[in-house]
Amino acid sequence: MQMNNSNVILIGFMGTGKSSVGKALAERLGWTFIDSDYVIEQQERRSIPDIFAQEGEAYFREVEHQVIRQLLTESGQVVATGGGAVLRHDNQALMLNGGLVVALTASPSEILLRVKKDGDQRPLLQGNAEDKISVLLESRKHAYDFAHTSIDTTNLSIEQIVTAILNEHANEQG
Ligand code: S3P
């Protein structure tokens, strides 16, 4: 695998566990955990729903791109990305070059449960979340395929997912 920096980058649809898994994984590796959505909110001094409402999605995607580009100049981080960060091919290239890219997946019903549980504020799921999830999942069917590896988290605990990623990471180190 040809990559310049050593990070673990978590990608996947909303509600697939990127943040929870990322935090636990970073702890196990003794690495820094960074959530790109959190960095965007800090930088913009407003919430993601506010950015979408006030500036629109295209603006958000541009800030997201700049943040990911900046974050991946460093090493030794577990980076959780927003579910739509993979939509730009330049982001995909940055991620593949920045470390081990791990895609997390989950069934549509599990995604619905998880986003409801975390008190969903996501602009793209407002209204009928179940319908929105189904439409977006279909349109992003292959968006996460570029990852080095993929894990279906539907029936796994955070600990099991972390162990699976640590194994992949160890294999990659040779
Ligand atoms: C988005 C996912 C969100 C956040 C924004 C857009 C998407 O992140 O970046 O609401 O397009 O899938 P999470 O995947 O962390 O929920």
The rounded Å distance from CA 107 to ligand 1 centre is: 17
- How is residue 51 written in tokens? 């950015």
pLDDT digits (tens, 9 = 90+) for 4-53: 669 999 999 999 999 999 999 999 999 999 999 999 999 999 999 999 99
Across all residues in the chain, what is the average pLDDT? 95
pLDDT-based confidence at 54, cuts 50/70/90? Answer: very high
Ligand 1 lined by 83 (C-beta under 6 Å): yes
Task: Say if pTM beats, i.e. exceeds, 0.85.
Answer: yes
Model confidence pLDDT, tens digit, residues 75-93: 999 999 999 999 999 999 9
Average pLDDT over residues 98-126: 93
Give the mean model confidence (pLDDT) for residues 117-128: 88
Ligand 1 atom at minimal distance to the Cα of residue 12: 14
* Token pair of 173 as six digits: 């180190």
> Can you read off the two tokens belonging to residue 167?
């194994």
- Nearest atom in ligand 1 to the alpha carbon of residue 35 is 15
Minimum CA distance residue for ligand 1 atom 11: 84
Amino acid letter, residue 50: D
Residue whose C-alpha is closest to residue 151's, from 105, 96, 98: 105
Residue 32 contacts residue 26 (beta carbons within 8 Å): yes
Say if residues 133 and 84 touch (Cβ distance below 8 Å).
Answer: no
* pLDDT tier for residue 120 given thresholds of 50, 70 and 90: confident
Provide the 8-state DSSP code for 141.
Answer: T
Tokens linked to 39:
């960095």
18 Cβ neighbours under 8 A, 6+ residues apart? 10, 11, 12, 35, 80, 81, 83, 104
3-state SS string for 71-139: HCCCCCEEEECCCCHHHCHHHHHHHHHHCEEEEEECCHHHHHHHHHHCCCCCHHHCCCHHHHHHHHHHH
Q: Is the dihedral of CA 66, 61, 116, 13 positive or negative?
A: negative
14 lines ligand 1 (CB under 6 A): yes
Tell me how long the chain is: 174
